[in-house]
Amino acid sequence: MDAWPPLPLADWQPTYETLHMWTQIVGKTRLALAPMQNHWWQVTLYPTARGLTTGAMPCGGRTVDVTFDFIAHTLDVRTSDDRSRTLPLAPRSVADFYAEYTSALRAVGVEATIRPKPVEVVTAIPFADDRSHAAYDADAAQRHFRILLSTTRVLEEYRSAFAGKASPVHFFFGSFDLATTRYSGRRAPRHPGGAPNCPDYVMVEAYSRECASCGFWPGGGAMNEACFYAYAYPEPEGYARHSIAPAGAYYHPELHEFVLPYEVVRNASHPDRTLLGFVQSAYGAAADLAQWDRATLERPVANAAR
């Protein structure tokens, strides 16, 4: 099985947009049930061997988890008292998915009140009214999932070299990206907010500490292809002009981040090593220019991605 399969944005964009809304619906369940953590880490989804999961969420005296299975193409809702419901992942509107999913939650005795509109998208159609997003290409969804797994493998290797505060490798349903973030330990200036259909306080909390973040994004808007990205907040002086490895990586002035097109990694002789070099290079630029205490924050590792 190809660990780095092709994923041209135009070929799967209808499925991508539909799946974005589906993951928002499920992710908002996590927001409703899980206790608050710094930087909204409690709302994310996590890669598994088969898809993306909420992980265990408290629900009164019980626990529930919800998992997208991109091999069997099902959505599985399971509780700790052995109640479950399964929905097929197949072409259907966001409105129908929302109705079926909330019905499945009620069937297993889970009450989760969510704000029934998407966030971080320009056009926020209420889930119950959204019949414009209704595509599901199972092959494309699985290829995207395989890229998430491969990216997770490399980012876990990258994360292992940091002894300071660092996020898990996790999937943000709002922006539909897989990310991990390192922190210097210092407070950051108040973030200005401005994400579409998202209260400013969300971004204020997300960027309350100085950080360097990286991850994978399927693209959209100013980026017409899938890419890996890296950025720093606050962005230190000279960051945009810094030389970044490998060849093919560049600073995107509209996104205010370094990007490495996915195709550069996919076609590299050593994809894992190429991606690891990119995220390490971008982090090094951020940490050096912002004068992080790298001797304290970093640790040696025995292995490198291959």
Residues 84 and 151 in one domain: no
pLDDT confidence tier of residue 302, bands split at 50, 70 and 90: low
Residues 23 and 94 in one domain: yes
* Tens-place pLDDT, residues 94-143: 999 999 999 999 999 999 999 999 999 999 999 999 999 999 999 999 99
Residue 198: which of 285, 272, 119 has the closest Cα? Answer: 119
Residues 149 and 293 in one domain: yes
pLDDT over threshold 90, residue 196: yes
Residues 39 and 143 in one domain: no
- The predicted model gives 149-174 an average pLDDT of 98
- Under DSSP, the state recorded for 82 is S
Q: Of 129, 155, 171, which one is at a domain's C-terminal end? A: 129
Residues 120 and 176 in one domain: no
pLDDT confidence tier of residue 305, bands split at 50, 70 and 90: very low
Residue 81: its pLDDT value, please? 97
Q: Tell me the average pLDDT of the chain.
A: 96
Domain of residue 110 covers: 9-129
Residues 17 and 106 in one domain: yes
Can you state the angle between helices 271-289 and 138-159, rounded to 10 degrees?
50
pLDDT over threshold 70, residue 246: yes
| Number of domains composing the chain | 2
Residues 92 and 229 in one domain: no
Q: What is the rounded distance in angstroms from the CA atom of residue 179 to the CA atom of residue 214?
A: 6
* Tens-place pLDDT, residues 225-234: 999 999 999 9
Peptide bond into 91 cis (omega under 30): no
Helical (H) or strand (E) element with 297: helix 294-297
Residues 169 and 254 in one domain: yes
Q: Of 101, 129, 157, which one is at a domain's C-terminal end? A: 129
235, part of any domain: yes
Residue 203: which of 120, 122, 279 has the closest Cα? Answer: 120
Residues 149 and 114 in one domain: no
2, part of any domain: no
Asked if 245 and 281 count as a contact pair (C-beta separation under 8 A), the reply is yes
Asked if 23 and 176 count as a contact pair (C-beta separation under 8 A), the reply is yes
Query: Sign of the C-alpha dihedral, residues 191, 195, 201, 205?
Result: negative
pLDDT confidence tier of residue 1, bands split at 50, 70 and 90: confident
Residue 306: its pLDDT value, please? 46
What pTM was computed for the model? 0.96
Question: Torsions phi, psi of 46, nearest 5?
Answer: -130, 140
* Tens-place pLDDT, residues 76-98: 999 999 999 999 999 999 999 99
Asked if 32 and 53 count as a contact pair (C-beta separation under 8 A), the reply is no
